[in-house]
Structure 1
Amino acid sequence: MFNRMTSKVTILNYTLALSSLFITTSALSEQLNYQDQEKLHRIADAVSAKRIENDIQSLVNFGTRHTLSDTRSSTRGIGAARRWIKAEFEKISKQCGGCLQVIEVKETISGEKRIPTPVEVVNIIAIQRGTSEPNRMVVMSGDIDSRVSDVMDFTSDSPGANDNASGVAGVLESARVLSQYKFNGSIVYATLSGEEQGLFGGKILAEYANKQRWQIHGVLNNDMIGNITGINGVTDNTTARIFSEGTRVIETKEQAHKRRFTGGEVDSASRNLARYIDTIADRYIPNLDTLLVYRLDRFGRGGHHRPFNDMGYAAVRVMETNENYNHQHQDLRTEEGVVYGDTIKGVDFDYTAKLTALNAVSLASMAWAPAPPKAVTISGAVQASTTLKWQKNQDKTTTGYRIYWRYTSEPQWQFSRYVGDVSEATLTNVVIDNYYFGVATVNKEGIESPVVFPGDVGAFEYVNN
């Protein structure tokens, strides 16, 4: 029976063949099925390929955006590019009545292999504060800087159209679209410098966020979201990749020991953030299939989500599926009929708009949804049933919780059950050994948070013990 005093739900008679559960309480007899969100469709439709094209062209026109390039010129170099980006954010903010806080987050770097002498690495950040939980953040990032074949060459033309004017344009366009709405949580639009010289912009912002005690529940790093024709000869504008790391790099020995016996190698907060974005693509972005890549980044390579991962935050990389290495980190030239260099001719603006829409809808959904549940635990060893417990959110937007589970070999969540505004639920005759489990928060509109896997491995607000 349902006991309201203990906030416990008993779900009986799980039948594998029918994938169904029978609930004994009338309060939970009515399932909360997924509710399509018209406003998320509107956000996806509002993204403009033409505005993105104009932004990419504006960034390309600065000639080079190398981290070590000119900072005083009004027309060339990273200084001019940064000032233009800041002016664009300020223009967007003016149109929404000052809804964006535009700031510079910067630090002087020196004595590094790729920054041997002092250079000010400046990130241009716009923050759209949430109405009820302003310190709960979701972040979209793109890299300002560009490079040619020699990573230390800061004078040659380096258009960086796809790598990574496309990502910066996506951030700006997402700010234009989402600034027309109000959200419970905050959205951070981050354009980062110093990526090619050692991921310094991401390190600076991650450290700033930690000092500010931002509750970051997701970082979507966009690095090359404009190319559809790969060096492999494949042209495809219908897929994108989401890279996510498994266990946290700062996991302790004790946490690793526990994980060995309870699982979670594929259920970090970053992995479940990636699954969340994948679900958004299926529901709201027409003709786009996202590939979940279970790796921190491309083989042996890196991006600006990594500094956030290094501090324990959930962070992923969103990017094109088919890369053209002739257009990455190359001097502008033609050799034996092969054109090298990252020019605007290599960018498909409709595709960039599609991936931008994926980001915008994902950010909006997470910012409208309640915060992911905290302190999720699980029990059920040598029992016929599985029990999950969690700490109930204290905010006014959470109206209930949904339990998810899947076979351990499956990449996406397969089964779910809405259990109401409780802090504990038991799945009777669902054996803990055979599945992975998680819990998501739900608001009154049916918008959900990412799923949280039990224990430290899956927590979105990570505590290094």
Structure 2
Amino acid sequence: MTDRRTFLSASAVVAATPVLAVASSAGAAGAAGAAGGGRPGGLPKQAPDRELKALLQEIDPHRIETIVRRLAGFGTRHTLSSQDDPVRGVGAARDWIYEQFQAYAATSGGRMSVELQSYVQPPASRIPEPTRITNVVATLRGSGEPGRIYVVTGHYDSRASDVMDATSDAPGADDDASGVAAVLEVARVMATREVQATVIFAAVAGEEQGLYGSDHLAQQLKGAGADVQAMFSNDIVGTGNAHDGTAADPRTVRLFVEGVPTAETPAQTSTRQSVGGENDGASRQLGRFVQDVAANPQTGMDVRVVWRRDRYLRGSDHISFLLRGYPAARFTEPRENFAHEHQNVRVENGVQYGDLVEFCDFRYIARVARVNAAALWSLAQAPGTPKGVVIDTTQLTNATTLRWQPSSAPDIEGYEVLWRETTAAQWERVLVVGNVTTTTIDLSKDNVFFGVRAVDRDGHRSPVAAPVPG
């Protein structure tokens, strides 16, 4: 065992170190796991740091209730409703959200800025005439790596039964005042804190008409060459009780993550599948990361990761980012009540229908907000996901050589190599390799899937990056 540890330590620094023969891949996995602290059956979860624990405690369900009730109180927030009425319609909601973000920015010491990001959408599907669409965007600039960006959204527009009905009441409490409330509350508690990377909080418009607001936001970032390393959409996160006779599930939130990246070319798909398959795309790694850092007693939630882009016949604003090649995922409640969603407010047999405030659970929304906060804080404080990760496939050998680009994080401590059986869903073992950019491990690349993540001096870990052949 001592000889094996010596080999692994040396090979992490010099890729050309001679490879020791092993009796079997299982034996190599056991030895490497012992050397690097890995263990069978899963890795220890990343515990929240002291600042994150304090941040999560500040998230307030009463504030969330105030936000949901205020947004529902605008009557309708339909994209085609009034933009100039001060008390009713999408314009009034836009201006109120802007005021909230401005108030949060005032506590940030200059780190947060707020803008109204507007454009005129020409006639298109569900847009009968040129229509101004406005996102309300608050940017919390990172102090260490401001060019590394994480985005979180909720959509503030709503709809009635008829998607083109811009006049009927459409309070949209669950869909999606709940998501906007979660985003606003996370922005409030993070505004007072310094983060290493930049976090963008956005209340986007035009979702119900065709993801128009998020599409514009994603394209603006893509056109600027922004390094968006993760995006989350919060859409229908109002309750764990579907109010349809089924058992309530108040401690679960679903996170939808796609497999094969939407923007991937066939050649990229073929390359990636040779080393990890659809379960190792960046969005799937993001799902694993969120499940790791956010499912803890401080959030009070179980993150149920669903390996799909979204629900059947449905879609949300994360798709706008997926289409541009960014890792993205969608939070939503565990079971939807389709009878109450997208309905004009009405009463039948003494039962109210419509997306009403009464169907929301504000403590549930607060727990969803804590999940978002845990994910965003952990991402923004950790080093970025390693880039340029390559697995050497140029030689026939039972060892595995991995290479990657050095991190630009100012407090980088080093890197860890992870692996799992090809039939396993989660990473199973980890090896600390130090602050290097090349490592050789006495374990066959033919038998397992590999990944690399970065670690800073405080123990914050990045999402895992899967390698491509090189």
* TM-score, normalisation: structure 1: 0.91
SS of alignment partner, residue 375 of structure 1: coil
Contact 1:10 1:425 in 2 (8 A): no
Letter in 2 for 1:250: A
User: Which range is displaced more, 35-44 or 274-283?
Assistant: 35-44
Offset from partner CA, 1:275-319 (integer Å, 9 cap, x none): 111111233544321111111100121100001000000000011
1:102 to 99, 114, 138: 114
| Correspondence for 2:4 | none
Task: Show the counterpart of 1:460.
Answer: none
CA distance in 2, matches of 1:237, 1:10: 54
The 3 A distance-change label for structure 1 pair 3 and 228 is closer
Q: How many residues align?
A: 453
Structure 2 distance, partners of 1:363, 1:320, is: 19
Whichever residue aligns with residue 171 of structure 2, its letter is: P
Instruction: Say which SS state the counterpart of residue 391 (structure 1) adopts.
Output: coil
2:118 alignment partner AA: K
The verdict on how the C-alpha distance between 1:11 and 1:101 changes in structure 2, with shifts beyond 3 A counting, is farther
RMSD of aligned residue pairs (Cα, Å): 2.6
Equivalent positions of 1:45-56 (< 5 A) are 45-56=57-68
Q: Structure 1 residue 30: deviation in Å?
A: 12
Within the candidate set 274, 283, 297, 1:261 is matched to 274
Q: Partners of 2:340 and 2:255 in 1: how far apart?
A: 21
Aligned to 1:21: 31
Change (3 A) 1:310 1:264: same
For the pair 1:152 / 2:137, whether they are aligned, the reply is no
With over 3 angstroms needed to count, the CA separation of the structure-2 counterparts of 1:36 and 1:97, relative to structure 1, is closer
Name the CA shift for 1:24/1:60 in 2 (closer, same or farther; >3 Å).
closer
- Counterpart among 35, 59, 79 of residue 67 in structure 1: 79
Match of 2:221 in 1: 209
- Aligned amino acid, residue 316 of structure 1: A
What SS is found at the alignment partner of 2:446?
helix
Q: Is the 8 A contact 1:35 1:446 kept in 2?
A: no
For residues 235 and 284 of structure 1, what CA distance do their matches in structure 2 show? 19
Q: Distance in 2 between matches of 1:23 and 1:169?
A: 43
Q: Which residue of 2 aligns with 1:304?
A: 317
Deviation at 1:9, TM superposition (A): 8.5
> For residues 270 and 181 of structure 1, do their structure 2 counterparts lie closer, same or farther at Cα, with a shift above 3 Å needed?
same
Greater shift after overlay, 247-256 or 107-116? 247-256
**Cα 1:148–1:174 shift into 2, 3 Å:** same
Of the structure 1 ranges 379-388 and 49-58, higher mean CA displacement relative to structure 2 is found in 379-388
Letter matched to residue 361 of structure 1: A
- The correspondence of residues 7-18 of structure 1 with structure 2, limited to 5 A, is 16=26
Question: Could you list the runs of 5+ residues in structure 1 that have no partner in the other structure?
Answer: 457-465
- Give the share of equivalent positions with the same residue, in percent: 37
Change (3 A) 1:333 1:377: same
Alignment counterpart, residue 135 of structure 1, candidates 147, 162, 166:
147
Partner of 1:424: 438
Residue equivalent to 2:3: none
- From 413, 424, 433, the equivalent of 1:399 is 413
Task: For residues 364-390 of structure 1, give each alpha carbon's deviation from its aligned partner in whole angstroms, at most 9, with x where no partner exists.
Answer: 111111111110011367532222211
SS at match of 1:197: helix
Check whether the contact 2:25–2:444 (CA below 8 A) recurs between aligned residues: no
Give the 3 Å change call, closer, same or farther, for CA 329–225 of structure 1 in structure 2: same
Comparing 403-412 and 259-268, the one that deviates more: 259-268
Q: What CA distance in whole angstroms lies between the structure 2 residues aligned with 1:248 and 1:276? A: 17
2:402 corresponding residue in structure 1: 388
Residue in structure 2 matched with residue 290 of structure 1 by the alignment: 303
1:376 to 385, 389, 406: 389
Aligned to 1:164: 176
Structure 2, unpaired ranges of 5+: 1-6
* Among candidates 208, 224, 238, match of residue 226 of structure 1: 238
Q: Deviations over 1:333-354 (max 9, x none)?
A: 2334543211100100111000
1:361–1:24 CA distance, 2 compared to 1 (3 A): closer
- Quote how far apart the aligned CAs of 1:256 are: 2.4
Aligned equivalents of 1:234, 1:411: Cα separation in 2: 28
Alpha carbons of structure 1 residues 281 and 24: separation in structure 2 relative to 1, 3 Å:
closer
Listed as ranges, the matches of 1:324-339 within 5 Å are: 324-339=337-352
Q: 1:199-240: CA deviations, max 9, x gaps?
A: 001110001111222210100110011121123613110111
Deviation of residue 35 (structure 1)? 5.8
SS in 1 for 2:388: strand
Aligned: 1:450 with 2:463: yes
